[in-house]
Amino acid sequence: QITLKESGPTVVKPTQTLTLTCTFSGFSLRTSGVGVGWIRLTPEKALEWLAVIYWNDDAFYSPSVNTSLTISKDTSGNRVVLTLTNIDPADTGTYFCAHTARIYDRVSGTYRPRNFDQWGQGTVVTVSS
Amino acid sequence: DIQLTQSPSFLSASIGDRVTITCRASQGIGNYLAWYLQKPGKAPKLLIYGASTLEPGVPARFSGSGSGTEFTLTINGLQPEDFATYSCQHLDTNTYPFGQGTKLDIK
Task: Quote the minimal CA–CA distance from B29 to chain A in Å.
Answer: 10
- The helix/strand/coil state of B87 is strand
pLDDT for the residue A27:
96
Q: Is B30's Cβ below 8 Å from some Cβ in A? A: yes
Q: Is B32's Cβ below 8 Å from some Cβ in A? A: yes
Give the H or E element holding residue A56. Answer: none
- For residues A121, A126, B1, B6, the Cα torsion angle rounded to the nearest 10 degrees is 60
Q: Is the pLDDT of residue B2 over 80?
A: yes
The mean pLDDT of chain B is 97
Q: Is A111's Cβ below 8 Å from some Cβ in B? A: yes
Residues B2 and B90: beta-carbon distance below 8 Å: yes
Task: Name the residue among A110, A121, A122 with its Cβ closest to that of B93.
Answer: A110
Q: Is the pLDDT of residue B15 over 90?
A: yes
- The helix/strand/coil state of B86 is strand
Q: What's the longest Cα–Cα distance across chain A?
A: 50
C-alpha pair distances (Å), A75 with each of A35, A40, A55:
11, 23, 9
pLDDT for the residue A76:
77
C-alpha pair distances (Å), B48 with each of A19, A98, B3:
31, 16, 19
B49–A45 C-beta distance less than 8 A: no
Q: Is the pLDDT of residue B18 over 90?
A: yes
Cα R_g (chain A), whole angstroms: 15
How far out from the chain centre does Cα B97 lie?
Answer: 13
Contacts of A97 in chain B (CB under 8 A): none
Q: Residues of chain A whose pLDDT is less than 70?
A: none
C-alpha pair distances (Å), B78 with each of B21, B31, B42:
13, 25, 20
Task: Quote the minimal CA–CA distance from A15 to chain B in Å.
Answer: 26
Task: Name the residue among A41, A48, A114 with its Cβ closest to that of B50.
Answer: A114
Question: How deeply is B1 buried, as exposed, middle or buried, from its count of CB atoms within 10 A (0-12, 13-18, 19+)?
Answer: exposed
- CB pairs A-B closer than 8 Å: 73
| Chain A residues 42-61 with a CB less than 8 Å from chain B | 44-49, 52, 60
pLDDT for the residue B71:
98
